[in-house]
């Protein structure tokens, strides 16, 4: 609303318009009935005028409240963004730590694996040696069994010297 400051409140006459744009120093308005307003409040280009709008006042108060809320929301979001940025930036270090940990575990596991293979190889060598020893002993036992084998027909022919009924004494 536009009005002239030197007009008394009783004689107060209104001109309505809309704000189209603004800068730091100026406001661009669109006056609905410009010719009528020129006659009522007698203003010219460059003239200082006072504006009054209850609706504009409410809009500004609402905008201020909204600005406070949005500022708090911006602070919360920027804090969350900063935290996530730190996590993202720390990701490489985390990956390096994980890689180092598992490299160590892999080396340890490889050492254990080699030791287990060596132990299995030693066990195989020991078992092979034992197998050969037992095979040799088994062959010796088989040889002795063959050597001392007594069959039914051998019993009579080989033992004739022990049985006096089978031979004659001179």
If residue 3 lies in a helix (H) or strand (E), which one and from where to where? strand 2-3
The answer to whether the beta carbons of residues 65 and 57 sit under 8 Å apart is no
| Residues 54-78: tens digit of each pLDDT | 887 888 899 999 999 999 999 999 9
| Residues 73-116: tens digit of each pLDDT | 999 999 999 999 998 988 989 999 999 999 999 999 999 999 99
In this prediction the pTM is 0.40
Domain residues of the chain, as ranges?
1-52, 54-87, 90-149
Phi, psi (deg, nearest 5) at residue 76: -65, -45
**What is the token pair recorded at 160?**
């004739």
| Residues 22-62: tens digit of each pLDDT | 887 777 778 777 777 777 777 665 666 666 778 878 888 99
141 to each of 91, 135, 146, 147, 154, how far by Cα in Å?
73, 10, 8, 10, 21
Phi, psi (deg, nearest 5) at residue 53: -155, 115
Buried b (16+ CB within 10 A) or exposed e, 70-102: eeeeeeeeeeeeeeeeeeeeeeeeeeeeeeeee
Contact residues for 167 (Cβ-Cβ < 8 A; gap 6+): 160, 161
């Amino acid at each position: 609303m536009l009005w002239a400051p030197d007009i008394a409140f009783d004689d107060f006459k209104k001109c309505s318009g809309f704000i189209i744009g603004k800068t730091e120093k100026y406001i661009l308005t669109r006056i609905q009935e410009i010719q009528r307003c020129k006659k009522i409040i007698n203003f010219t280009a460059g003239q200082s005028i006072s504006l009054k709008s209850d609706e504009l006042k409410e809009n500004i108060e609402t905008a201020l409240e909204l600005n406070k809320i949005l500022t708090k929301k911006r602070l919360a979001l920027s804090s969350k963004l900063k935290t996530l940025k730190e996590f993202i930036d720390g990701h490489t270090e985390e990956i390096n730590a994980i890689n180092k940990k598992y490299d160590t575990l892999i080396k340890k596991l490889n050492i254990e694996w080699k030791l287990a293979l060596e132990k299995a190889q030693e066990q195989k060598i020991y078992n092979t040696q034992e197998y050969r020893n037992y095979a040799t002993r088994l062959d010796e036992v088989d040889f002795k069994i063959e050597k001392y084998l007594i069959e039914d027909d051998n019993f009579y022919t080989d033992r004739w010297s022990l049985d006096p009924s089978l031979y004659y004494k001179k």
